[in-house]
């Protein structure tokens, strides 16, 4: 179970469906927040620079501060769309770099980067009714998710992150837990979106996920970190 820290304009926030106008601050000190999750027992963190993902700025220095402030592994995403950005994130201390937009649009780039950074990249396969989403979930790509996954299964990736954007941040519970793409995924499978309580974690385990990223449920108090880790280590 991986707590999420999403950065927007220097704060940690939660969003609904990735829409920046829905941002609700959860901490004005993301470094302290990350340390708090570590102190409470989190074994890994999920850190995303929303400004970079949306193309509205960046929180690069803050990301570095968070990485320096904790000792648990951190998977970092948001706007990582060229080799220099990947190299910087990994050199700064990220255990894994999450790639979505460029990876979906340019499979040859994903292949080259996966070979260059074996087991360090996590492919983000973010979806809702529009299809596979890119540019901070603002647009749908002309891409076939089955083909993307087929290519991903051949690459030395650190995992595939399946986000159900339609329920992300809504505390409505998970949907589509019996996802054919997830069952066909040959890399570590990470779920995100919609988790409300322990029943959702149990459903995701049954569906074959290896890990789950949780944000709003932890911040809203509908899910306790230690209980969640007991249900989904």
- List beta partners, residue 214: 3
Tokens 């969003």 belong to 15
What's the CA gap between 137 and 49, in Å, rounded? Answer: 13
Catalytic residue (choose from 126, 164, 179, 200): 126
What's the CA gap between 129 and 24, in Å, rounded? Answer: 24
Residues 138-141: contacts with CB within 8 Å, 24+ apart? 138/18, 138/54, 141/101, 141/104, 141/105
Question: Annotated catalytic, 126?
Answer: yes
Helix, strand, coil percentages (3-state) for the chain, rounded to 5, are 35, 25, 35
Which residues, 6 or more positions from 210, have their beta carbon under 8 angstroms from its beta carbon?
Answer: 159, 188, 189, 190
- Cβ–Cβ under 8 Å, residues 163 and 128: no
- The 3-state secondary structure of 101-126, one letter per residue: HHHHHCHHHHHHHHHHCCCCEEEEEE
- Cβ–Cβ under 8 Å, residues 75 and 36: no
Question: Annotated catalytic, 6?
Answer: yes
- Which are the catalytic amino acids? 6, 126
């Amino acid at each position: 179970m991986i707590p999420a820290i999403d950065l927007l304009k220097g704060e940690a926030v939660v969003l609904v469906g990735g829409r920046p106008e829905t941002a609700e601050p959860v901490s004005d000190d993301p470094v302290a927040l990350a340390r708090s999750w570590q102190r409470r027992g989190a074994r890994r963190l999920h850190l995303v620079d929303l400004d970079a993902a949306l193309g509205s700025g960046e929180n690069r220095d803050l990301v570095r501060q968070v990485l320096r402030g904790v000792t648990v592994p951190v998977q970092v995403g948001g706007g990582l769309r060229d080799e220099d950005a990947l190299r910087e994130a990994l050199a700064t201390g990220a255990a894994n770099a999450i790639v979505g937009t460029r990876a979906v649009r340019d499979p040859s780039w994903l292949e080259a980067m996966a070979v260059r950074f074996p087991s360090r990249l996590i492919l983000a396969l973010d979806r809702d009714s529009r299809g596979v989403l890119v540019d901070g979930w603002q647009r749908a790509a002309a891409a076939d998710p089955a083909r993307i996954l087929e290519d991903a299964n051949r690459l030395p990736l650190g995992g595939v992150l399946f986000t159900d954007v339609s329920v992300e941040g809504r505390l409505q519970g998970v949907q589509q837990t019996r996802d054919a793409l997830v069952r066909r995924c040959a890399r570590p499978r990470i779920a995100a979106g919609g988790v409300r309580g322990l029943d959702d974690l149990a459903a995701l385990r049954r569906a074959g996920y290896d890990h789950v990223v949780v944000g709003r449920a932890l911040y809203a108090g509908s899910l306790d970190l230690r209980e969640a880790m007991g249900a989904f280590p």
